[in-house]
């Protein structure tokens, strides 16, 4: 079991309340996944050419100063670091490939959790309510957010195996279920030079779908190919630069419910995750059907 | 109205507000205090999708759940008449023995699973696996049902006023399915059969019980071809 939650605010006036509305969703789904949690929040878009990187360090009191100094020395550019304990968001104008390769080589203990112009990721092990407090989730602002509470079935309980998983830029996925052919998918992708960071099944699905979008598929086309390539049980919630997408496998044995109003689209594994949202009892409530695409654009 | 009548009404009604009381408090009342209390009607407020509301009731009582139910609403019910004024999550009225559960909205997966008796009425749609392994319950769905409904259904009737999804009645035993709309596909060993006068009478009674205005002649009957009842060692000579 795992819990998935997502919220896309249509009403710009609600963007400042994104975190505050999201946290009770995550906390209510803690009983479905009490051991790790995480979220991806999509904030204001950085200027063309700028990128931000969410980084994870192995210790809460990690000293980020040497990393920042080495980064400036290596790239010769100014970088902004926003530190929250063992997480930091690095903002600069260096492209993702160069930064990731450098960080992997010089700071192998650090994880680059995400890259893009809009995405910030926070994920860790522990109870979702503690994680929400640890990283000030109620204060997050933005257009859309994708969150997850994890009860592991595949691979160990570690921060890098918590969800969301990311691939490429401004692309993340959370998953409730189990993919049964992740190594087959992985072997196909590794032949194309795509690098994996964990042994987790969800990472294979994330990298497959993101690879399809880089090959020219729309998100919808990529998800259709996912129905053919990804075997197993899943409810996926995907966040991109400007979209949220929700799909369930043909057997649909992993739940989800959607509430849509003029102000927002909210997704949760169970209704109790939505019960606190303003106007939810007058919302359009529905359960996503198996192998149907549900895509919302900011 | 005299004062005695007012007192009687007050003691016959009880309200549980789940914003203040827990589901456990509600269920403990239903299991241990309801019988002999004189309470005939219970309102459950602010259910907010909580699981296991009013499970295991073993006494005649009317229960109105005013909002969205979570998983297993009215599970294992005996005798009670439960109405949900909203939608429900997975496994509504699962393993019901008798009584009635009515859902005003839609029901998620496995509605009425393994139910032995009583009537489950879903006014909206029911999701996948509605009536899976049903064992005597009657289920009437006002809307459509999802894939794999009535999978391995053993006894009872499943009435579908809308369309049915894929693999309807896969590996059916003796349960009978009535479908008013389109059937996307039948499961293994399920077949469409002619409606008999007995079917029309039985279905008419079920539709009346559920309060749906349809004519039994609009429905098709699906039942087991019983070809899976016995192992056929000669089948295709592939074993």
B87 vs A: CB within 8 A: yes
| Per-residue tokens: B131 | 């009536």
d(CA A199, CA B47): 40
Show residues of chain B in contact with A287, CB under 8 Å.
106, 108, 127
Regarding whether A111 and A143 lie in a shared domain, the answer is no
Regarding whether A154 and A285 lie in a shared domain, the answer is yes
A86: alpha, beta or left? (left if phi > 0; alpha if psi -120 to 50): alpha
Q: Residue B128: in which H helix or E strand, if any?
A: none
**Which range of residues forms the domain containing residue A231?**
2-45+126-297
Residue B232 pLDDT exceeds 90? no
Q: Is-contact A90 A50, C-beta < 8 A?
A: no
Regarding whether A55 and A132 lie in a shared domain, the answer is no
d(CA A107, CA A92): 18
| Per-residue tokens: A15 | 């963007």
Q: Along the 298 residues of chain A, how does pLDDT read in single tens digits? A: 899 999 999 999 999 999 999 999 999 999 999 999 999 999 999 999 999 999 999 999 999 999 999 999 999 888 899 999 999 999 999 999 999 999 999 999 999 999 999 999 999 999 999 999 999 999 999 999 999 999 998 889 999 999 999 999 999 999 999 999 999 999 999 999 999 999 999 999 999 999 999 999 999 999 999 999 999 999 999 999 999 999 999 999 999 999 999 999 999 999 999 999 999 999 999 999 999 999 999 9
User: What pLDDT was estimated at residue B4?
Assistant: 44
Residue B81 pLDDT exceeds 70? yes
A253 is catalytic: no
- From A138, A134, A178, A141, select the one nearest A37 (Cα to Cα): A134
- Domain boundary (A117, A142, A172) is at A117
For chain B, which domains are there?
46-227 (2.160.20.60)
User: What pLDDT was estimated at residue B8?
Assistant: 54
Nearest to A275 among B48, B71, B128 (CB): B48
CATH of the domain at A16: 3.60.20.10
- Domain boundary (A85, A117, A149) is at A117
The string of pLDDT tens digits covering residues B189-217 is 999 999 999 999 999 999 999 999 999 99
Per the listing, tokens 């192995």 go with: A58
A193-221 in b/e form (b: 16+ CB < 10 A) is: ebeebbebbbbbbbbbbbbbbeeebebee
Distance from CA of A27 to the nearest CA of B (A): 14
Regarding whether A88 and A194 lie in a shared domain, the answer is no
- Domain boundary (A117, A137, A162) is at A117
Regarding whether A189 and A134 lie in a shared domain, the answer is yes
- Mean pLDDT across chain B: 94
- From A225, A227, A232, select the one nearest A211 (Cα to Cα): A225
| Cross-chain residue pair B109–A271, CB shorter than 8 Å | no
Secondary structure letter of residue A252 according to DSSP: -
User: What pLDDT was estimated at residue B22?
Assistant: 98
Q: Is the dihedral of CA A245, A249, A254, A255 positive or negative?
A: positive
Regarding whether A254 and A136 lie in a shared domain, the answer is yes
How distant is the alpha carbon of residue A270 from its chain centre? 19
Regarding whether A63 and A38 lie in a shared domain, the answer is no
Q: Percentage helix, strand, coil, to 5, in chain A?
A: 30, 30, 35
Within a 10 A sphere around the Cβ of A291, how many other Cβ atoms?
Answer: 16
Chosen for mutation from B45, B124, B128, B166 (greatest number of chain A CBs closer than 10 Å) is B128
d(CA A205, CA A123): 18
Q: Is-contact A239 A144, C-beta < 8 A?
A: yes
Within a 10 A sphere around the Cβ of A96, how many other Cβ atoms?
Answer: 15
């Amino acid at each position: 079991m795992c819990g998935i939650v997502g919220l896309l605010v249509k009403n710009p006036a609600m963007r400042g309340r994104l975190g505050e509305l999201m946290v009770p969703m995550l906390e209510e789904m803690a009983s479905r996944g009490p051991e790790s949690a995480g979220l991806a929040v999509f904030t204001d878009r950085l200027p063309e050419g700028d990128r931000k990187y969410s980084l994870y360090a192995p210790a809460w009191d990690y000293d980020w100063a040497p990393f920042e100094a080495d980064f400036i020395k290596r790239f010769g550019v100014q970088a902004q670091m926003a530190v929250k304990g063992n997480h930091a968001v690095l903002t600069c104008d260096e492209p993702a490939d160069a930064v990731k390769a450098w960080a992997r080589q010089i700071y192998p203990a650090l994880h680059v959790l995400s890259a893009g112009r809009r995405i910030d990721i926070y994920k860790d092990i522990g109870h979702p309510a503690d994680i929400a407090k640890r990283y000030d989730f109620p204060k997050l602002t933005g257009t859309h957010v994708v969150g997850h509470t994890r009860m592991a079935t595949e691979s160990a309980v570690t921060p890098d195996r918590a969800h969301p998983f990311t691939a490429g830029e401004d692309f993340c996925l959370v998953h409730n279920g189990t993919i049964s052919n992740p190594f087959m998918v992985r072997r196909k992708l590794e032949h194309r030079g795509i690098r994996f960071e964990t042994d987790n099944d969800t990472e294979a699905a994330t990298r497959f779908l993101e690879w399809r979008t880089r090959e020219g598929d729309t998100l919808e086309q990529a998800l259709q190919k996912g129905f053919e390539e990804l075997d197993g049980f899943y409810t996926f919630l995907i966040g991109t630069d400007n979209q949220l997408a929700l799909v369930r496998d043909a057997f649909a044995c992993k739940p989800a419910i959607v509430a849509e109003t003029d102000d927002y689209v909210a997704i949760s594994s169970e209704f109790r995750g939505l019960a606190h949202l303003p106007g939810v009892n007058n919302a359009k409530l529905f359960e996503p059907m198996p192998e149907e695409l549900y895509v919302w654009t900011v | 109205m005299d004062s005695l009548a007012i007192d009687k009404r007050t003691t016959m009604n009880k309200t549980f507000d789940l914003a203040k009381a827990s589901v456990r408090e509600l269920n403990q009342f239903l299991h241990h205090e309801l019988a002999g209390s004189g309470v005939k009607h219970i309102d459950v407020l602010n259910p907010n999708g909580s699981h296991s509301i009013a499970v295991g009731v073993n006494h005649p009582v009317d229960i109105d759940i005013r909002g969205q139910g979570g998983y297993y609403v009215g599970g294992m019910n005996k005798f009670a008449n439960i109405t949900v004024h909203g939608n429900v999550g997975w496994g509504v009225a699962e393993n019901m023995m008798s009584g009635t559960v009515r859902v005003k909205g839609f029901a998620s997966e496995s509605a009425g699973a393994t139910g032995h008796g009583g009537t489950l009425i879903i006014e909206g749609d029911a999701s996948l696996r509605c009536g899976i392994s049903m064992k005597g319950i009657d289920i009437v769905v006002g809307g459509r049902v999802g894939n794999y409904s009535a999978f391995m259904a053993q006894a009872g009737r499943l009435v579908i006023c809308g369309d049915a999804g894929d693999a309807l009645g896969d590996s059916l035993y003796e349960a009978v399915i009535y479908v008013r709309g389109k059937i996307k596909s039948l499961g293994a060993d399920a077949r469409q059969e002619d409606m008999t006068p007995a079917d029309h009478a039985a279905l008419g009674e079920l539709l009346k019980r559920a309060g749906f205005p349809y004519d039994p002649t609009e429905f098709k009957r699906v039942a087991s071809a019983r070809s899976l009842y016995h192992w056929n060692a000669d089948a295709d000579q592939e074993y």
